């Protein structure tokens, strides 16, 4: 049973998670549910974190971004090597590394423009992006650096192929959910609460699946905590628990234009990032930190509830929602969700109960997608993401140790390459 290794730094941007799992192919040709072995998290170095935050605001030059991309790859490689050391494994023990990279920018498909392009009869592939509203994104942590510095074959950049096929490219959790829950005897709804929150309807019949972002997860909560207290997040939702929801603010946020979009839809910092949070801080500067956090925490819970009611419950019968992501550690958020879902007759579970640790599930997702990609298996779900066909998502960088027909490398320290 091969070892696979996954990495993730999500929209919360609160560290790089690394996970070690085992996985095997099932008789139906799809991967079986991965089995978690070990995991760890490494912090972003302050200097690199500061530069990436500038990149989120489009404030780095292209030349600066180039070096940041390689440096981020080096950090991902350090996370891999630390986990190998912890687990007493060697590079040759690992089948593949999978990660998507740190998202710096993501632009969802503009469906009306897509339709206009199709109706125009244009044969220009270039115009899909210059005029047609096709989705795109930019994701850093160079895979060549990771493969070279770990000596393990690496698969990354899972979204561009889906984008080119007209898919939203986000969320991507639906493949792991198909792999993990297709044998559970009926549809399963999963909820991932990272910086952005998303819902997945998993089904053994992939044509019946859904996946879409519900709105903010932790990203705005974390921003306001940092702006008001200097801390990075609201530990256990303790500050929010002391506050009172500001009803006019909650009502206003629920009118955000994002909620007019229909699935498949994806959100990013352009929707619910620092800019939007700063507007709220300015408008409600007299409000207490606790009240602001109570309101934003309820905003996340309410947008999740609304998405379930509007898009999933009308098409299927479910009894539970399986949650994962860093948001499950926010007790106030989980209490809000349990109350709201309880009124819908739904149980709120945590993915740990199914062998998938909630805080590492996104990293497990990328490990599983890489395992599939290396074997040429379709690892997208067109019905969920909107792509026009099944495809193999991910770009592969081979481990240097697997290079064939190489020669002896004497030394490069003296300025000569010494390659024969």
Instruction: Give tens-digit pLDDT for 45-96.
Output: 999 999 999 999 999 999 999 999 999 999 999 999 999 999 999 999 999 9
Residue ranges matching CATH 3.30.420.40 in the chain: 3-180+360-402, 183-354
What kind and span of H or E run contains 38?
strand 35-42
Q: Which residue has the tokens 């489009």?
A: 58
pLDDT at 409: 76
pLDDT for 309: 97
Q: Three-state secondary structure along 231-260?
A: CCCCHHHHHHHCCCCCHHHHHHHCCCHHHH
CA–CA dist 96, 150 (Å, integer): 11
For residue 276, what are the contacts with CB-CB under 8 A and spacing of at least 6?
220, 256
**CATH entry 3.30.420.40 includes domain 183-354:** yes
Q: Which of 99, 94, 121 is nearest to 10 (CA)?
A: 99
Residue 29, pLDDT score: 96
Signed CA dihedral, 13, 311, 157, 37: sign only: positive
Q: What is the pLDDT of residue 87?
A: 98
Q: What is the DSSP string of 46-99?
A: HHHHHHHHHHHTT-S-HHHHHHHHHHHHHHHHHHHHHHHHHHT--GGGEEEEE-
Quick one: pLDDT at residue 1? 84
Residue numbers in the chain where pLDDT is lower than 50: 416
Position 204 scores a pLDDT of 94
Q: What is the CATH number of domain 3-180+360-402?
A: 3.30.420.40
């Amino acid at each position: 049973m091969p070892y696979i290794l996954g990495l993730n730094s999500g929209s919360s941007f609160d560290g790089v998670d690394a996970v070690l799992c085992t996985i095997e192919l099932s008789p139906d040709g799809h991967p079986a549910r991965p089995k978690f072995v070990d995991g760890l998290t490494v912090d972003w170095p302050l200097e690199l974190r500061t530069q990436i935050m500038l990149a989120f605001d489009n404030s780095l030059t292209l030349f600066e971004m180039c070096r940041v991309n390689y440096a981020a790859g080096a950090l991902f490689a350090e996370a891999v090597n630390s986990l190998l050391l912890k687990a007493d494994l060697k590079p040759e023990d690992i089948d593949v590394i999978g990660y998507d990279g740190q998202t710096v920018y993501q632009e969802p498909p503009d469906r009306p423009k897509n339709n206009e392009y199709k109706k125009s009869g244009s044969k220009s592939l270039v115009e899909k992006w210059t005029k047609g509203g096709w989705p795109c994104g930019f994701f850093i942590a160079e895979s060549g650096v990771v493969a070279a510095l770990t000596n393990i074959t690496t698969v990354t950049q899972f979204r561009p192929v889906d984008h080119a096929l007209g898919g939203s490219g986000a969320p991507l959790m639906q493949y792991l959910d198909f792999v993990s829950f297709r044998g559970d005897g009926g549809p399963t709804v999963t909820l991932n609460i990272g910086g952005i929150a998303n819902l997945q309807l998993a089904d053994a019949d992939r044509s019946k699946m859904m996946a879409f972002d519900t709105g903010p997860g932790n990203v705005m909560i974390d921003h306001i905590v940092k702006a008001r207290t200097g801390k990075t997040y609201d530990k256990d939702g303790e500050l929010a628990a002391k506050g009172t929801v500001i009803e006019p603010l909650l009502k206003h946020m629920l009118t955000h234009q994002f909620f007019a979009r229909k699935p498949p839809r994806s959100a990013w910092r352009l929707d619910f990032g620092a800019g939007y949070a700063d507007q709220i801080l300015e408008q409600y500067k007299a409000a207490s930190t606790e009240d602001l956090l109570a309101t934003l925490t309820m905003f996340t819970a309410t947008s999740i509830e609304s998405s379930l009611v509007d898009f999933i419950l009308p098409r299927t019968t479910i009894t539970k929602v399986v949650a994962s992501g860093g948001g499950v550690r926010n007790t106030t958020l989980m209490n809000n969700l349990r109350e709201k879902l309880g009124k819908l007759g739904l149980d709120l579970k945590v993915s740990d109960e199914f062998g998938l640790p909630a805080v590492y599930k996104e990293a497990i997702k990328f490990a599983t997608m890489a395992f599939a990609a290396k074997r040429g298996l379709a690892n997208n779900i067109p019905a969920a993401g909107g792509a026009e066909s099944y495809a193999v998502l991910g770009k592969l960088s081979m481990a240097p140790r697997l290079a064939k027909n190489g020669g002896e490398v004497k030394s490069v320290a003296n300025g000569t390459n010494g390659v024969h």
